């Protein structure tokens, strides 16, 4: 049951729930991507290669992804106010413990705890959706999804914070830990239980069993939505983690500049999610997904062009020169890519409350889980590909293939659905009328 004004929900209640959840998600996302900055210092301290670095920055994404299904269901059962608060407090403790380890394997273990921050998305989606009617959920969830800007906060702010705190990355982790703990307390104080939970408690209605919540996962459509999110969210997270290293390796930039340019990608990849929700409400999520995939495959195809060294004969001997996509062109394409990813993230989650209004937690959780796994596996694959073939832009070659697969599956699934809804579409269409040699119709 989707909450609306008839259930005693005021616009003030909706605004409070949405604002608090968005700020909490921003804090969680900032913590979730912290390794994109401090990970580079850890890489230098431990002498890691690119594969080991990719595993390190991706490990928090694994926990954040795998936890989303359970957290989404628990939010349906026990309410977002309680679950979100506990999730942030546990993550804050794990982030603080990060400062106490020294070996690579202990860093990986600590990173698993930090990664719980990523599960906040499933909690927020479930909690926010219960405050709004279906016709406004796209916009509301789009605004909530703007919490992805936490990645830009980390990419832009963490390098500055690192300098301000004496260049000691442990101080940055400690600062993030305290900030997230304060956010958890403020969230609990400023929010209320969602109307559906309040109604169940008032009428002493038991929540749906955990396994019952998993039944929609049998439908192929859920997994198709998950593939979409694997790119629009998983690849977004992966690039937010990988781009600082990419800019330093490809263009020889320092950490602060690389973080700033990554923030220029992360920012539109977050703030325009509200626009994506609005466009999905107005024009339909399906159309927005077409825009997203077509624009994205065009961007990643161009960004895949590898840096190439040439040697030509000169008057005084051979001349060596290098052809690379100009930095300003690459940054511009990354901003465009981030913008359309932002629209796509909102469009994917517009589908879920519409198709599965009573199972937002489980369906939203599994879609978020698969999307998050993209953020886990892709940085590792990026690192492996870079170590094996030495082509920095190979990560964008891979993304081009992934988007092409998602676009193709979506298009044919839509055609099949249209034929099921309108059987007449199964008949041959737009066939030219045959004419005989004399010009008369056969």
Residue ranges, the chain, pLDDT below 50: 1-6, 310-312, 321, 422, 424-426, 428-442
Q: What angle do CA 246, 179, 61 make, to 5 degrees?
A: 40
What is the length of the chain? 442
Q: Give me the residues paired with residue 441 across strands.
A: 435
The answer to whether residues 393 and 303 touch, using CB atoms and an 8 Å cutoff, is yes
The answer to whether residues 248 and 392 touch, using CB atoms and an 8 Å cutoff, is no
**What is residue 3's predicted lDDT score, i.e. its pLDDT?**
44
* Domain edges within the chain: 8-197+209-421
Q: What angle do CA 110, 90, 154 make, to 5 degrees?
A: 65
Q: Give me the residues paired with residue 318 across strands.
A: 313
Measured CA to CA, the distance from residue 392 to residue 373 in angstroms comes to 22
Q: Does domain 8-197+209-421 have CATH number 2.60.40.1230?
A: no
**What is residue 45's predicted lDDT score, i.e. its pLDDT?**
86
> What is the Cα 144 distance to its own chain's centre?
12
Q: Could you write out the DSSP letters of every residue in 138-186?
A: HHHHHHHHGGGHHHHHHHHHHHHHHHHTTT-HHHHHHHHHHHHHHHHHH
Cβ atoms < 10 Å from Cβ of 186:
16
Measured CA to CA, the distance from residue 414 to residue 276 in angstroms comes to 20
Residues in contact with 34: Cβ distance below 8 Å, sequence separation at least 6, in sequence order: 60, 95, 114, 154, 158, 172, 173, 176
> What is the Cα 297 distance to its own chain's centre?
17
Measured CA to CA, the distance from residue 214 to residue 73 in angstroms comes to 9
Measured CA to CA, the distance from residue 293 to residue 143 in angstroms comes to 21
The answer to whether residues 271 and 344 touch, using CB atoms and an 8 Å cutoff, is no
Measured CA to CA, the distance from residue 370 to residue 228 in angstroms comes to 9
Chain segment 301-335, per-residue pLDDT in tens: 999 887 655 444 555 555 554 557 889 999 999 99
**What is residue 41's predicted lDDT score, i.e. its pLDDT?**
85
Closest CA to 180 of 122, 96, 251: 96
**What is residue 64's predicted lDDT score, i.e. its pLDDT?**
84
Dihedral sign, CA of 109, 114, 116, 121? negative
**What is residue 420's predicted lDDT score, i.e. its pLDDT?**
64
Measured CA to CA, the distance from residue 112 to residue 371 in angstroms comes to 17
Measured CA to CA, the distance from residue 64 to residue 115 in angstroms comes to 5
Closest CA to 406 of 207, 163, 199, 232: 232
> What is the Cα 141 distance to its own chain's centre?
13
The 3-state DSSP composition of the chain as helix, strand, coil percent (nearest 5) reads 80, 5, 15
């Amino acid at each position: 049951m989707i909450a609306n004004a008839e259930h005693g929900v005021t616009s003030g209640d909706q605004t409070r729930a949405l604002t608090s959840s968005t700020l909490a998600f921003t804090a969680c996302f900032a913590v979730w991507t912290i390794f994109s900055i401090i990970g580079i210092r850890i890489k230098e301290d431990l002498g890691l290669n690119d594969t080991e670095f990719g595993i390190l920055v991706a490990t928090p994404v694994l926990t954040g992804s795998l936890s989303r299904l359970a957290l989404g269901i628990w939010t349906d059962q026990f309410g977002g106010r309680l679950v979100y608060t506990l999730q942030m407090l546990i993550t804050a403790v794990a982030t603080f413990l990060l400062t106490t380890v020294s070996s690579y394997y202990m860093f990986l273990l600590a990173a698993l705890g930090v990664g719980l921050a990523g599960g906040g998305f499933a909690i927020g989606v479930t909690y926010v959706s219960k405050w709004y009617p279906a016709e406004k959920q796209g916009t509301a969830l789009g605004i909530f999804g703007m919490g992805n800007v936490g990645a830009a906060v980390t990419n832009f702010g963490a390098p500055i914070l690192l300098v301000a705190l004496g260049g000691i990355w442990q101080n940055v982790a400690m600062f993030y830990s305290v900030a997230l703990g304060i956010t958890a307390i403020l969230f609990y104080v400023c929010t209320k239980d969602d109307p559906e939970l309040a109604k169940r408690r008032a009428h002493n209605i038991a929540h749906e069993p955990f396994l019952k919540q998993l039944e929609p996962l049998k439908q192929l459509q859920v997994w198709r939505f998950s593939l979409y999110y694997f790119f629009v969210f998983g690849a977004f997270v992966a690039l937010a983690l990988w781009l600082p290293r990419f800019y330093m390796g490809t263009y020889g930039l320092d950490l602060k500049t690389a973080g700033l340019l990554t923030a220029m990608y992360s920012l539109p990849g977050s703030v325009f999610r509200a626009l994506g929700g609005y466009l999905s409400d107005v024009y339909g999520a399906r159309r927005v997904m077409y825009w997203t995939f077509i624009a994205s495959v065009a961007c990643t195809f161009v960004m895949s062009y590898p840096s190439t060294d040439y040697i030509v004969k000169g008057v005084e001997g051979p001349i060596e020169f290098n052809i690379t996509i100009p930095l300003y062109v690459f940054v511009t394409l990354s901003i465009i890519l981030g913008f359309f990813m932002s629209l796509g993230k909102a469009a994917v989650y517009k589908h879920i409350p519409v198709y599965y209004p009573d199972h937002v937690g489980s369906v939203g959780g599994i879609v978020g889980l698969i999307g998050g796994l993209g953020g886990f596996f892709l940085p590792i694959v990026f690192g492996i590909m870079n170590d094996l073939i030495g082509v920095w832009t190979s990560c964008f070659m891979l993304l081009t293939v992934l988007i092409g697969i998602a676009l193709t599956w979506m298009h044919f699934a839509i055609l099949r659905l249209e034929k099921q809804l309108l059987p007449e579409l199964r008949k041959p269409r737009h066939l030219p009328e045959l004419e005989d040699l004399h010009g008369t119709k056969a």
